[in-house]
Chains A and B, each alone.
Chain A
Amino acid sequence: MSFVESIGQSLIYGILVGTLYGLAASGLSLVFGVMRYLNVAHGALLMIGTYLAFSIFSRYHIDPLLSIPIVMFFLFLIGMFLYKLMFSSLAKYPVGIRIDNSLLISFGLMLVLESLATIIWSPDERNITTPYSGMTFSFLGLRIPYVGLFGVVLTTVLIFALHLFLNKTYFGKSIRAASQDWESALTVGINIEQTYFFSFAIGIALAGAAGSILSFSYAFSPAISEGWSIKALIVITLAGLGRIGGVFAAGLVLGVIEAVSVYFIGASYQQVVGLVLFILLLMFRPQGLFTRKGGGASSSAENLPSASYTFSQKISISEGFSFNALKEAITEKRFFIIGILIVACCLLPLIIRSDYLINLFILLFLYISITQSWNILGGYTGLISIGQSAFFGIGALSTRLLWMSGAPIFLALLAGGVSAAVLAAMIGLPSLRLRGVYFAIGTLGLAIITGVIVHNVFPGVSFLPAKYLASFTLTPRYYVALVLMLVTIGAAYLLVNSRLGLGMIAVKEDEIAAAATGINTFKCKVLALAVSTFLAGLAGGVYAFYSAVYYYFVPFELIWSFEPVLIVIIGGAGTIIGPILGTIGYVALKELFTVTIGRFSVPIFAILFIITVLSLPGGLVEATGKIRNWLGSYKIKKGGMQNVT
């Protein structure tokens, strides 16, 4: 095949998959555009649609082409149900809280759906074989599969129908009106609640349609959820967040660029393309590819870069860690308690002989570290990273590879931390210049995409070589994990009590006000990101050091992103002690659940998480404030008593 033909063939495949990206993203874009709900479970709902088509095909032998309306109808019902169950209560909050909370609960939802699907349909890859599967026809010397052609035609029809619905019908127009200004929409008589309800359900039905088409075009498994979520998120960012139009074109752009670059860089790295595109977009066109600059009074404030840190560089008293804070905090009594705890932890391996318990403690220390690292970012600075697994994973990977190649372990651990911070800089520097959801999407993308790449490039297991295995004991690993935990807690404590730490908290409370009072908000955010990801990378390194049998992709699994968020939110975001206590409870409970209910533990924790976020509806800020007030009043009470005595 000549070069031109190969490129042409890649183009064809790009268009085929690109239209599907467009369709998948259009549902997400509708939901985000109208309600400002960032439903990262969109890919999981698409996957449910795929399996629905699969089940209908295998049970009733109905061709997936014909079952599309059935699948769409079911997904429409599921959408209605999910909206009433989880999303409707967010509607009364301002945009910022809507985005953050919908992101969190849909993240939980994704895990629920994915793990339930794995239980019901097994994690195996499947496909549907129809009479026309594998048949191709020739066009200008290029091979075009029939399934692809059907997919393109159906997708185009559906997108066109959606376009007509939104632009020509009264109800469609009212959906657009509600997305542009919901208060105005309400006062001209549009029933916002109903509009939201149906838009959400329509968005999910579109995910179902995309899933149906996928079912006869490609192979699938429950694990495709994450990939499709992130593709859809990248596509709506390409189109310009909050804009309903342009999504289809953006999907095509992504599909074609991906397919053509696969020709040059190979399929293993295909996923990188989307992420690179996303990062370039953040740097050069955060308003989206097809948005005219200044065209229309942009009502979507989250599209605007924050250019408010120009006059903030001047103040420079001693920045950095303040050791006075540490001295003050460690009053004699506390010092005593903390000292006893540390000594107890140090002595533990001498007393306990059970490997099971030692393993559990190592796990506990690891979890406390990764949770505290997320807390710096999410709890104190208000930057919701749902990609901590990427930093944890890259730290683990670097450490493992270096260690295996003979480097001293402490150097390897350090390298792990540094590599995580470098990876974070790639996504953080462009996305932290902007406000809003870019950081969350970026980190999620990083987590999913690094996971896929590592899965492709290092599919196997890394066993310890004999000379290492001979000297493998748990005790040194226990102490390394203990040191890691102490370093992490100490670093978090010192950081948040420093000047910059106060700046970080100010950024979370009100970024504009913080910038206006002279805080270099960008610097605060970058510092929080650097420290947080360095610590996460370090924790990953310790994990790699701890595991005798090490699967390269395991530390990249999304659960490592999810657990810290879960624990911090339940334990109390923006406090040091909350996440520690939360972790102890979580690890104990998880151990109990794993023993008793096994694979159901993930969905159960995810449901628990959703309930927690929904019952703290004012968002992280309010929850933190409540806990702060509570702790504050406790402190005052205590202080008062001390004065009296």
Chain B
Amino acid sequence: MLEIDQIDVFYGDLQALWNVSLTVQDGEIAALVGSNGAGKSTLLKTICGLLRLTHGSIRFNGLQLDKTPAHQIVQLGICVVHEGRRLFSEMSVLENLEMGAFNAKARKKKSEMTAWVYEIFPRLKDRKNQTAGTLSGGEQQMLAIGRALMSQPKLLLMDEVSLGLAPILVRHIYEVVKEINRSKQITIFLVEQNVRLALEVADSGYIIETGSIVGHDKANLLLRSDHVKESYLGFGQMQREK
């Protein structure tokens, strides 16, 4: 579904991604994990057109994404949940959802989609006329996901959805992620610092370190691999102590 082929991305003179290749299969949950500053968000921003690559290509169902203007990418069926929510904070919950269905195709099914989002997150319905900036962190995250779903994506990109939320909310959000994936066949590409959580939910996983992909496997295998255990889950030291 999504094929990223040997891309290089720069911030000015600074290279952030080095020869990155990965594929996301139709219908799966794929996870890209790695530490702070590894290039995860850079990759997502490149996919949705906010950053431009200098080498390589990104294809979505055969269409070349890296030449498409950013505002048209959502029409192809890709939507992103930004890190830190990035809501339209002075607009109401309902208006935020409406903006999510901005493209012509989604606009037609706006009321249907709104009803569905309210079904997933009933809390949003209670607060539909409230200003988005005044919602709690968890509610804002729900709204950010809801807004992305309004565009009827085939592929949903999610950037650090667990960041800054209470553990119980994180679990709830991830339940929802699995549910969206299962019931609506929406492919999901997760980007996470919380390696264990992401790999537990995902089908396949990629590890990114300092701008390069260093590992790729089925998520459950990756979770048990020595590299992940040592680098991300803190088992390394325990093993050495044994």
Contact = CB atoms under 8 A, between A and B. Distances in A.
B91 A188 contact: no
Interface stretch (A179-187, A258-266, A427-435): A179-187
A587 B219 CA distance: 71
B154 interface: no
B151 A189 contact: yes
A296 interface: yes
A187 B69 CA distance: 10
Interface in A226-247: 243
Interface string B72-97: 11110001101000111111000100
A298 B151 CA distance: 26
A190 interface: yes
A47 interface: no
Contacts of A187: 48-50, 70, 73-74, 79-80, 82
Contacts of B89: 180-181, 296-299
A221 to B, nearest CB: 39
Interface in A43-58: none
Contact of A186 (B70, B95, B133): B70
B240 interface: no
Nearest to A167: B95
B71 interface: yes
A295 B134 contact: yes
A184 B88 CA distance: 8
A174 B99 contact: yes
Given A173-B95, A183-B50, A188 B147 contact: yes
Interface residues of B, number: 32
Interface string A129-160: 00000000000000000000000000000000
Interface in A187-229: 187-192
A170 interface: yes
A80 B102 CA distance: 24
A508 interface: no
A642 to B, nearest CB: 31
A464 interface: no
A184 B82 contact: yes
A185 B98 CA distance: 12
B181 interface: no
Best-buried of A174, A183, A186, A187 by chain B (most CB within 10 Å): A187
A174 B102 contact: yes
A177 B88 contact: yes
A176 interface: yes
Contacts of A173: 91, 95, 98-99
Nearest to B101: A188
A296 B91 CA distance: 9
A298 B82 CA distance: 18
Interface in B104-151: 107, 131, 133-134, 147-148, 151
A191 B49 CA distance: 12
Contacts of B57: none
A188 B147 CA distance: 8
B100 interface: yes
A422 to B, nearest CB: 40
Given A188-B74, A188-B99, A180 B88 contact: yes
B49 A188 contact: no
Given A183-B50, A297-B133, A192 B86 contact: no
Contacts of B72: 189
A466 B86 CA distance: 71
Contact of B91 (A176, A183, A298): A176
A192 B102 CA distance: 12
Interface in A268-305: 295-299
Contacts of A186: 49-50, 70-71
Given A183-B82, A297-B133, A190 B88 contact: no
Given A187-B79, A188-B102, A176 B88 contact: yes
Contacts of B151: 188-189
B146 to A, nearest CB: 12
Contacts of A170: 98, 102, 107
A296 B132 CA distance: 8
A173 B95 CA distance: 8
B103 interface: yes
B143 to A, nearest CB: 11
30 contacts: A170-B98, A173-B91, A173-B95, A174-B99, A176-B88, A176-B90, A176-B91, A180-B88, A180-B90, A181-B86, A181-B88, A181-B89, A183-B86, A184-B86, A184-B87, A186-B49, A186-B70, A187-B50, A187-B79, A188-B151, A189-B71, A189-B102, A189-B103, A189-B151, A190-B71, A190-B102, A296-B89, A296-B134, A297-B133, A298-B89
Given A189-B72, A189-B74, A297-B89, 5 more contacts: A177-B95, A181-B87, A185-B99, A187-B70, A189-B102
Interface of B: 48-50, 69-75, 79-80, 82, 86-91, 95, 98-100, 102-103, 107, 131, 133-134, 147-148, 151
Which 8 pairs across A and B sit closest by C-beta, in order of nearness? Answer: A296-B133, A297-B133, A189-B74, A189-B103, A184-B86, A180-B88, A189-B102, A191-B71
